[in-house]
């Protein structure tokens, strides 16, 4: 069976699908990932086929006009600006998805970032398809929409706000959706019927986010599918020597986030580590972080699955992937959310007992970060709970559940789940 996985966004929106694709391929299927050209090397290195999508500009939303610098506060463009960009690119994105889907795919899996267009393409092309989402986006009474930093609005308010959030996505992709409906002769009624029963598998643990009881049938929480890891990886001598030279350090990294003033932020991190009396490993990534000091090491790309278990705690932006990696490693977390679903995941870390609480990026100071680190590392309850949670996650097989669902979907053949 030829399976196409289509996704768009930052590295964290691509990496988990390399693990899912590898698992599907191990079962004897041919897997191709359709995504940004800049992810081609990573995708091919994982053993998957690669199909380019002309979406690199789409991936820079939130990173500034050139993808490298946001505002001085590390915030993203306004919702209006995001919607405008998505509407502008949607027809081109739609055509690229159709081209990818007609390249021999038997089944197509879409991430949430491409699902509004993908479900139309799959209906028009009569292809079996499903969503493979990293976030719980469907409206529910149990929590407000995860893309907004909102407190609970109560059962009715949460669900209403969730519907509002989905309407914003529909508005953003409307030009592409209408373009595909005309091109592929998909009627509004046919699309509505497909969306009402379209299967969606969520790549997070039911221990972390239990399946909402008011979700419709077909929306499942599968469990995490972990990013592909290069076999035989070992830290370079510089990192290995640092890790062996003292007590476990603290990790600080912000992935694909553009922090605006990395030098100032680096000084803040360095001061926080000194105040806490802790060693640190700082990952530079897109944020451009660099911290100097005898007890601090700045590193480039290092697999979180290999690095995090050696840490005393992890400080991060609470993106879905990094949050999952920290929980898998069994170490406490200090989340510093900036945007979108990061506040949701930060709140989950606190509710699960593996974090003393989030520090919103706008409220971050060296003193607050140092206090949170001391609490996370020195109070045993956070480490104890983190290890318990890691054991629960280790017993799950999210990719295996998706594999079973995809094979059943292909057997039905019609794509009408």
pLDDT greater than 60 at residue 342:
yes
In the chain, what are the helix, strand and coil shares in percent, each to the nearest 5?
50, 10, 40
H helix intervals, 232-297: 237-244, 262-276
Evaluate if residue 376 carries a pLDDT over 50: yes
Residue 416 has pLDDT above 90, yes or no: no
33 part of a folded domain: yes
* Spatial distance between the Cα atoms of 204 and 158, rounded to a whole number of angstroms: 21
pLDDT at 56 > cutoff 70: no
Residue 173 and residue 266 in one domain: no
314 located within any domain: yes
Whole-prediction pTM: 0.90
Give me the pLDDT at residue 256, please: 66
For the chain, the C-alpha Rg in angstroms (whole number) is 21
Q: Which one-letter DSSP state was computed for residue 148?
A: S
Domain membership of residue 289 as a residue range: 237-394
| Residue 274: band (very low, low, confident or very high) from pLDDT cuts 50, 70, 90 | very high
Which pair of tokens denotes residue 374? 């001391």
Q: Looking at residue 265, which CATH number applies to its domain?
A: 3.40.50.2000
Same domain, 217 and 348: no
- Of the pLDDT bands very low, low, confident and very high (cuts 50, 70, 90), residue 66 is very low
Q: Residue 117 has which token pair?
A: 């267009």
Residue 28's Cβ-count burial label (10 Å; 0-12, 13-18, 19+) is exposed
Q: How confident is residue 287, by pLDDT bands cut at 50, 70 and 90?
A: low
Say whether both 38 and 155 belong to one domain: yes
Q: Provide the number of structural domains found in the chain.
A: 2
Say whether pLDDT at 35 is over 70.
yes
With respect to residue 378, please indicate whether it lies within any of the assigned structural domains: yes
SS3 4: strand
How confident is the model at residue 412, as a pLDDT?
A: 79
Are 273 and 186 members of one domain? Answer: no
Q: At what angle do helices 79-101 and 154-184 cross, to 10 degrees?
A: 50
Q: Are residues 406 and 390 in the same domain?
A: no
| Residues 390 and 400 grouped into a single domain | no
pLDDT for the residue 257:
66
Clarify whether residues 244 and 201 are in a common domain.
no
User: Where is average pLDDT lowest: 65-74, 169-178, 296-305, 354-363?
Assistant: 65-74
Strand partners, 298: 282
Over range 304-332, report the average pLDDT: 95
Within-domain flag for 385: yes
For 305, left (φ over 0), alpha (ψ -120 to 50), or beta?
Answer: alpha
From the list 220, 228, 225, the residue with the least C-alpha distance to 202 is 220
- CA distances to 70, 329, 331 from 245, rounded to whole Å, are 36, 21, 20
Dist. CA 49–CA 47, nearest whole Å: 7
> What values do phi and psi take at 33, rounded to 5?
-105, 130
- Expressed in angstroms, the distance from the first to the final Cα of the chain is 18
Q: In terms of DSSP bridges, do strands 280-283 and 296-299 run parallel, antiparallel, or are they unpaired?
A: parallel
Residue among 280, 314, 284 nearest 299 (CA): 284
Give the model's pLDDT for residue 80. Answer: 63
* 27 within 8 A of 54, measured Cβ to Cβ: no
**Residue 232 in domain:** no
Interhelix angle for 79-101 vs 115-125, to 10°?
30
Q: What percent of the chain has pLDDT over 90?
A: 71
| 231 assigned to some structural domain | no
pLDDT at 12: 80
Do the domain assignments include residue 417? no
Residues 71 and 180 in one domain: yes
Backbone dihedral region of 232: left (phi > 0), alpha (psi from -120 to 50 degrees) or beta?
Answer: left
Check residue 67 and give its pLDDT: 32
- Identify which of 11, 10, 70 has the alpha carbon closest to the alpha carbon of residue 265: 70
Higher pLDDT, 108 or 233: 108
- Residues pairing with 159 in the sheet: none
Mean pLDDT of the chain: 88
Ramachandran angles phi, psi of 202, nearest 5°? -100, 130
- Give the mean pLDDT of 14-26: 95
Could you give the CA distance from residue 22 to residue 154 in angstroms, rounded to a whole number?
40
Looking at the structure, tell me whether residues 16 and 164 fall in a common domain.
yes
Judge if 288 and 140 occupy the same domain.
Answer: no
Nearest to 294, CA basis, from 263, 266, 270: 270
Do 254 and 191 fall within a single domain? no
E strand or H helix at 412: helix 398-412
Nearest to 360 by CA among 394, 335, 397, 331: 335
Beta bridge pairs of residue 129: 108
Asked whether residue 282 falls in the same domain as residue 144, the answer is no
Examine residue 229 and state whether it is found in any structural domain, yes or no: no
């Amino acid at each position: 069976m030829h399976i196409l996985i289509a996704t768009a966004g930052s590295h964290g929106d691509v990496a988990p699908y390399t693990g899912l694709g590898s698992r599907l391929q191990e079962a004897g299927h041919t897997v191709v990932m359709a995504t940004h050209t800049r992810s081609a090397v990573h995708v091919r290195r994982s053993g998957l086929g690669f199909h380019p999508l002309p979406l690199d500009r789409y991936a820079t939303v939130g990173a500034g006009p050139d993808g490298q610098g946001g505002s001085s506060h590390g915030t993203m463009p306004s919702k209006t600006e995001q919607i405008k960009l998505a509407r502008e690119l949607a027809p081109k994105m739609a055509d690229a998805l159709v081209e990818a889907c007609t390249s021999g795919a038997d089944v197509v899996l879409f991430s949430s970032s491409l699902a509004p267009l993908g479900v139309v393409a799959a209906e028009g092309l009569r292809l079996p398809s499903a969503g493979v989402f990293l976030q719980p986006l469907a409206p529910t009474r149990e929590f407000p929409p995860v893309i907004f930093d909102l407190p609970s609005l109560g059962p009715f308010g949460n669900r209403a706000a969730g519907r509002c959030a989905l309407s914003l996505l529909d508005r953003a992709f409307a030009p592409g959706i209408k373009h595909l409906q005309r091109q592929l002769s998909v009627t509004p009624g046919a699309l509505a019927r497909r969306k009402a029963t379209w299967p969606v598998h969520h790549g997070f643990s039911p221990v972390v986010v239990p399946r909402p009881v008011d979700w419709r049938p077909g929306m499942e929480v599968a469990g995490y599918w972990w990013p592909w890891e290069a076999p035989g990886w070992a830290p370079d001598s510089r990192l290995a020597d640092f890790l062996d030279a003292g007590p476990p350090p603290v990790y600080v990294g912000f992935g694909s986030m553009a922090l605006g003033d990395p030098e100032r932020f680096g000084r803040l991190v360095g001061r926080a580590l000194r105040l806490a009396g802790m060693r640190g490993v700082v990952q530079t990534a897109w944020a451009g972080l660099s911290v100097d000091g005898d007890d601090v090491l700045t590193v480039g790309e290092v697999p979180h699955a290999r690095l995090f278990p050696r840490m005393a705690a992890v400080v991060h932006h609470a993106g879905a992937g990094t949050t999952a990696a920290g929980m898998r490693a069994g170490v406490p977390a200090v989340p510093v959310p900036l945007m979108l679903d990061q506040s949701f995941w930060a709140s989950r870390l606190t509710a699960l007992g593996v974090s003393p609480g989030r520090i919103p990026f706008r409220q971050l100071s060296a003193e607050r970060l140092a206090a949170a680190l001391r609490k996370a590392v020195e109070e045993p309850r956070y480490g104890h709970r983190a290890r318990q949670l890691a054991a629960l996650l280790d017993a799950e097989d999210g990719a295996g559940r998706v594999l079973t669902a995809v094979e059943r979907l292909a057997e039905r053949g019609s794509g009408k789940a």
